[in-house]
């Protein structure tokens, strides 16, 4: 593996990005920065060097943040009572601020996560702007309805109507793999609905969410509406889960942590939306153009070093074309050389952390023992958590690589001959986040899409949901939906009003 790495990633970023990192601002609570708690290191995954520090919020600090969010929701010029057009204006101003700050935001994503800066600009930051613009259009369009009352209410006349009100204070717990983008999936609809938030970014990738909080304040968002606390899940995350002032949890992450949040929420009947794990099948029908789709299949699993919730890492190819497809995919994968996130030629950077590196490498070693590595690992020649694109075939059906979310640049390839077997296998999976189908016969593709029990089905396209399309999973892939109108509805409570008028 011939990686090209800057001596220090801090030397590769802009002056404002470096200033922000070195300022060690702390938590953002009620419109101010608070340096509270023990410090922990920010590690650049491309060099394994410490580039800064963050502070870990304990239960008391989390309580301050929740109290600030509650006050902003209930008291004074409460966020929930601000006229809808003002919320729309502020969300558009925030989208403008994100657009103006895109270079710094991309720097922070690249240095903290390892995503190539070019991809951070063209994909994550650009999509975040779309998300905020989309939800900025909703505040003035949140409506109810009027209803007639039947004779069961007596001979009196009544006027009845419904409204939708914000659910309250939202505790948003974010993943590290797409921090700004998934953060926007929670924050934008919550703000549009009139909710306030306490956001806990992942401890491995927190910088860009802290920057977003600063941008929101500069755009005019009232103090206390958006608060950010940093720290590890066992301390800060647990304190947020246990805080009685939270009215809804919005979480993206592992199924195991999602279940813990679900159980904690059940004790208080707190609302939840949980976007959890996935083992997303990519079903390739025999009539495809193999050479045309091979690059797309690879990038569906190798982009962001495979750290994608909707990663297409489980390729299920018809037996008649599987051998040629693997050959075409391998040929493309071998052109992907991991490198510095700040090299303009880099398509793949490192994985996020040493923990993730060790986890993915353990899967690869098991794959080497159980199957055939068509594209294998190259020995590292420099520091950093770099993993080469890997394709594994001929795994036994019970292999955990075929059933567990690897979350790294690893593709497994299985073969099939009977479409019914494919459908049964997908629908029996513990997960049901998404599936992808590649094929040229419209009727065959649509029939298969109808029978798959997954939250989203992508056809002849790598998996990525636009802002107006709801995304979420069946079974252990989650509860509720992000994005689209359904994503907004998750932050609203319906209320019915029945008034006697004579």
> Which residue, chain included where needed, has tokens 């950077």?
349
Q: Report pLDDT for 376.
A: 67
Candidate list 56, 124, 275, 414, residue with the active-site label: 275
Catalytic status, residue 275? yes
112-134 tens-digit pLDDT: 999 999 999 999 999 999 999 99
SS3 141: helix
* Cβ neighbours of residue 303 closer than 8 Å, sequence gap 6 or more: 119, 347, 348, 462
Q: Are 305 and 116 in contact (CB under 8 A)?
A: no
Residue located via tokens 């505790």: 171
Given this model, what pLDDT does residue 379 score?
62
Kindly report the number of other CB atoms within 10 A of residue 141's CB atom. 11
- CA 1 remoteness from chain centre: 29
> Do 162 and 59 contact (CB within 8 A), yes or no?
no
376, two tokens: 């294998």
Out of 88, 195, 203, 309, which one is annotated catalytic? 309
Judge whether 75 counts as a catalytic residue.
Answer: no
Which regions of the chain are under pLDDT 50? Answer: 1-6
Q: How far apart are CA 472 and CA 274, in angstroms?
A: 8
State pTM to two decimals: 0.95
* Angle at the Cα of 146 from the Cα atoms of 141 and 148, rounded to 5 degrees: 165
Where do the domains of the chain lie, and which CATH numbers do they carry? 9-276+479-496 (3.40.605.10), 281-466 (3.40.309.10)
Q: Where are the alpha helices (DSSP H) in 232-377?
A: 238-242, 255-268, 290-302, 319-333, 354-370
Q: Decide: 168 and 248 in contact? Cβ < 8 Å.
A: yes
Q: Are strands 248-252 and 169-173 parallel, antiparallel or unpaired?
A: parallel
């Amino acid at each position: 593996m011939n990686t090209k790495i800057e001596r220090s990633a801090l030397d590769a970023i802009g002056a404002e990005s470096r200033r922000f990192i070195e300022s060690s601002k702390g938590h953002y609570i009620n419109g101010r920065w608070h340096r509270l708690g023990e410090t922990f290191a920010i590690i650049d995954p491309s060099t394994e060097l410490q580039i800064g520090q963050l502070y870990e919020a304990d239960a008391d600090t989390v309580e301050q943040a929740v109290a600030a969010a509650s006050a902003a929701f209930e008291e004074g010029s409460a966020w929930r009572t601000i006229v809808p057009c003002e919320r729309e204006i502020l969300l558009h101003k925030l989208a403008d601020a994100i657009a103006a700050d895109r270079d710094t935001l991309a720097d922070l994503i690249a240095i903290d996560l390892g995503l190539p800066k070019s991809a951070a600009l063209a994909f994550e930051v650009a999509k975040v702007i779309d998300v905020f613009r989309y939800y900025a259009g909703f505040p003035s369009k949140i409506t109810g309805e009027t209803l007639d009352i039947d004779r069961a209410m007596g001979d009196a006349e009544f006027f009845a109507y419904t409204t939708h009100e914000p659910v309250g204070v939202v505790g948003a717990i974010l993943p590290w793999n797409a921090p700004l983008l998934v953060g926007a999936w929670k924050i934008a609809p919550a703000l549009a609905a009139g909710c306030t938030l306490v956001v806990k970014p992942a401890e491995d990738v927190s910088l860009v969410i802290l920057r977003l909080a600063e941008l929101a304040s500069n755009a005019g968002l009232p103090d206390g509406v958006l608060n950010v606390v940093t720290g590890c899940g066992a301390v800060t995350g647990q304190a947020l889960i246990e805080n009685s002032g939270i009215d809804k949890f919005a979480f993206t992450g592992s199924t195991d942590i999602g279940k813990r949040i679900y159980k904690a929420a059940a004790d208080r009947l707190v609302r939840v939306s949980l976007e959890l794990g996935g083992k997303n099948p990519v079903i390739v029908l025999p009539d495809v153009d193999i050479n045309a789709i091979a690059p797309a299949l690879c990038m569906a699993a190798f982009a962001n070093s495979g750290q994608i919730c909707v990663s297409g890492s489980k390729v299920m190819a018809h037996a008649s074309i599987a051998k040629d497809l693997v050959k075409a995919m391998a040929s493309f994968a071998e052109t992907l050389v991991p490198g510095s996130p700040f090299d303009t030629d880099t398509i793949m950077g490192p994985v996020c952390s040493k923990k993730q590196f060790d986890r993915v490498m353990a899967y690869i070693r098991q794959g080497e023992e159980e199957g055939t590595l068509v594209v294998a690992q190259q020995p590292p020649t420099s520091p950093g958590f770099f993993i080469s694109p890997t394709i594994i075939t001929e795994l036994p059906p019970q292999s955990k690589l075929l059933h567990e979310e690897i979350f790294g640049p690893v593709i497994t390839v299985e073969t099939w001959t009977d479409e019914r077997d494919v459908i049964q296998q997908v629908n029996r999976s513990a997960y049901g986040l998404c599936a992808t189908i590649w094929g040229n016969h419209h009727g065959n593709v649509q029939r298969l899409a109808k029978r798959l029990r997954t939250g989203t089905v992508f056809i002849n396209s790598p998996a990525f949901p636009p802002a107006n399309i709801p995304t979420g999973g069946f079974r252990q892939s989650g509860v509720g939906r992000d994005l689209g109108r359904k994503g907004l509805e998750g932050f609203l409570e319906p209320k019915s009003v029945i008034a006697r008028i004579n």
